[in-house]
Structures are given as structure tokens and as C-alpha cells.
């Protein structure tokens, strides 16, 4: 335990949670992080110009959560602001409606502590329909209830140094900004390992970004195109290796 304490700065995990009108679920999300058995944990909530009661929902965690605010500017900007403020050597992202499993951080952190060459770990995700939804709405969701590997906010833990090497999330993307980051990280040679453990429970509800902002899905096409162009440039003989 003494060794663990001495290394606590190296072990500190910063969890960045952007929040835009997330009053209904954010307390659950924060509690799921507080349940982690990790000796050095920092929770940063970035309120992205919410117009609901998000602020007071977070205020009840006074002392346990760093609360930042920005004018509404999108998830990427909010996550970037949170990273700027983060002090941990390890970095995780979570959305304001999703839940970590109790063992998430332990499962994700262990391989990174064992292997200094590893840049990121990825766990499994399962989806659930938010329990308060009426039956009519519940049955509208099509999804597989099985845990699946998914590189997304909430399933990954990375070294801060690797995040800095890859760079900030693109603020121009309304959707797919984290997918874009992962693909840029891949191109930059980030090494990651998958842990076969459920770490994220993703809440499906009627205000999911993908449900409300279907138009923003077009950003995924841009993300794919950028990744294809990077690969082609890397494969071209005169391109960067």
C-alpha cells in the first residue's frame, strides 16, 4: 500500500464528463465513478452551457467533483476543456448519462500499470433502456443487449501523455469526434489492449444525441473520409510512414 501511495500521482485517473442538459442522469453517472475503488481519482464535469438544473445536480457532490462551465460549444470543446484542467497521468471520458460498472477502473487500469509501453485499454460496453421510459418508447429501441467491445467514451482509459501526443478532439465535429480521435490515435501508432470485462453501461433514452440529432450523423462520413485519406497518405511511397 505504501508503494501505491508513493505512486499516486502516476496512478491518478482524471475522468472528464461533459454535460449538456444532463440533470436527469448525471448524479447516477457521478455516483458510478465514485463507487470505483481507486486511490486517486479526479472527476471533472464540464457544463456545456446547460439550461436545465445540471448545475444543482452536480452541486450536491461538492468537494468530490470539479465543476467547470463553458458557453455551449459542443461535446468536443467540453471534453478538451476538461482535459486542460485534468491533473491525472491517466485519462478517461464518460458521458453524462452512462454508467461505469463498479470494477471498470480496476479492470482498465491494471494492464496500463503492468505494461508501460501500453497507451490505452478498452473494455466492453452493454446498452440498456433507461428504466423510466414508458413501454411504448422502450420497445422502439433496436439494440443488442450483449456486452460488446467498443472504442468509445466510457470504455477506454488512456495515458495523458498519449492524449497529448495525438492532440485535442476536433471541435468541428458534432458527432463522431471521439471516433475521429481514436482513428487519429491509431494512425499515430497508439497501442491499446482490450480487457474482456464489462466496464460501461450505456443508457438509451429519448434524448440520446443520435436520436435527437440524426442530422449530425453525417459527421461520421467526414470522420471516415479523413481516416481513409490518412491511410492512403501513409501507404503512398512518398507519403509519411
Partner 1 sequence: MKAHDVYRVNSPQVVYENIDGELILVHMEKGAYYTTDEVGAALWDLIESRCTVSEIREALGSQFEAGPAEIEAATASFLEQLVGEELVLREDPASDRTPHRRPLPISKRPFRAPDLQSYRDMQDMLALDPIHDVEAAGWPVPKPDDASVTSQYA
Q: Tell me the sheet residues that pair with 18.
A: 46
**What is d(CA 46, CA 167) in angstroms, rounded to the nearest whole number?**
19
Q: Indicate whether 18 belongs to the interface with partner 1 (CB under 8 A).
A: yes
Q: Which one of 1, 3, 215, 241 is in contact with partner 1 (CB under 8 A)?
A: 215
Of 10 and 149, CB closest to partner 1:
149
At how many degrees (to 10) do helices 177-187 and 75-85 cross? 60
Q: Which residues contact 7 (CB under 8 A, 6 or more apart)?
A: none
Greatest Cα-to-Cα distance within the chain, rounded to the nearest angstrom = 58
Q: Is 67 in the site for partner 1 (CB under 8 A)?
A: no
Q: How far apart, in whole angstroms, are the C-alpha atoms of residue 14 and residue 153? A: 13
Nearest approach in angstroms of CB 169 to partner 1 is 12
Residue with C-alpha cell 439494440?
Answer: 143
Q: Does 188 bind partner 1 (CB under 8 A)?
A: no
Which residue, 3 or 146, is less far from partner 1 as judged by CB? 146
| Among positions 28, 126, 168, 220, the unique one binding partner 1 when judged by CB under 8 A | 220
**98 part of the interface to partner 1, by CB under 8 A:** yes
212 is a site residue for partner 1 (CB under 8 A):
yes
* Length of the chain in terms of residues written: 241
Give the integer Cα–Cα distance in Å for 33 and 126.
17
Beta bridge partners of 203: 128
Instruction: Give least dist CB 88 to partner 1, A.
Output: 21
Q: How far apart are CA 199 and CA 104, in angstroms?
A: 4
Binding-residue pattern over the window 111 to 130 for partner 1, x denoting contact by CB under 8 A: ----------------x---
**Residue 76 beta carbon to partner 1: minimum distance, rounded to whole angstroms:** 10
Q: Which stretch binds partner 1 (CB under 8 A): 36-44, 59-67, 108-116, 135-143?
A: 135-143
Decide if residue 198 touches partner 1 (CB under 8 A). Answer: no
CA distance 216 to 6: 45
149 binds partner 1 (CB under 8 A): yes
| Secondary structure (DSSP) of 201-227 | EEEE-TT-HHHH-GGGGGHHHHHHHHH
Question: Alpha-carbon distance 191 to 215, whole Å?
Answer: 33
Q: Is 172 an interacting residue with respect to partner 1 (CB under 8 A)?
A: no
Contact with partner 1 (CB under 8 A) among 44, 75, 109, 169: 75
Binding-site ranges for partner 1 (CB under 8 A): 18, 20-22, 51, 75, 95-98, 127, 134, 136-137, 139-143, 148-153, 175, 179, 182-183, 202-204, 206-215, 217-218, 220-222, 224-225, 227-228
Amino acid at each position: 500500500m505504501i508503494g501505491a501511495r508513493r505512486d499516486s500521482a502516476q496512478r491518478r485517473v482524471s475522468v472528464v464528463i461533459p454535460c449538456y442538459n444532463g440533470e436527469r442522469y448525471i448524479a447516477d453517472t457521478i455516483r458510478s465513478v465514485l463507487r470505483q475503488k481507486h486511490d486517486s481519482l479526479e472527476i471533472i464535469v464540464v457544463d456545456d452551457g446547460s439550461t436545465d438544473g445540471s448545475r444543482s445536480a452536480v452541486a450536491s457532490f461538492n468537494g468530490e467533483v470539479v465543476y467547470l462551465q463553458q458557453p455551449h460549444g459542443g461535446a468536443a470543446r467540453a471534453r478538451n476543456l476538461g482535459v486542460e484542467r485534468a491533473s491525472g497521468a491517466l485519462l478517461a471520458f464518460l458521458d453524462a448519462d452512462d454508467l461505469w460498472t463498479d470494477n471498470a477502473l480496476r479492470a482498465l487500469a491494471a494492464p496500463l500499470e503492468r505494461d508501460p509501453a501500453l497507451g490505452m485499454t478498452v473494455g466492453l460496453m452493454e446498452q440498456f433502456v433507461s428504466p423510466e421510459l414508458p413501454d411504448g418508447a422502450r420497445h422502439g429501441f433496436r439494440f443488442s443487449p450483449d456486452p460488446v467491445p467498443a472504442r468509445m467514451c466510457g470504455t477506454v482509459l488512456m495515458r495523458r501523455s498519449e492524449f497529448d501526443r495525438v492532440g485535442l478532439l476536433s471541435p468541428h465535429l458534432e458527432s463522431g469526434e471521439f471516433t475521429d480521435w481514436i482513428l487519429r490515435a491509431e494512425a499515430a501508432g497508439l497501442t491499446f489492449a482490450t480487457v474482456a470485462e464489462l466496464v460501461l453501461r450505456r443508457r438509451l433514452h429519448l434524448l440520446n444525441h443520435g436520436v435527437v440529432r440524426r442530422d449530425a450523423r453525417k459527421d461520421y462520413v467526414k470522420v471516415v473520409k479523413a481516416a481513409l485519406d490518412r491511410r492512403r497518405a501513409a501507404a503512398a511511397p512518398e507519403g509519411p510512414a
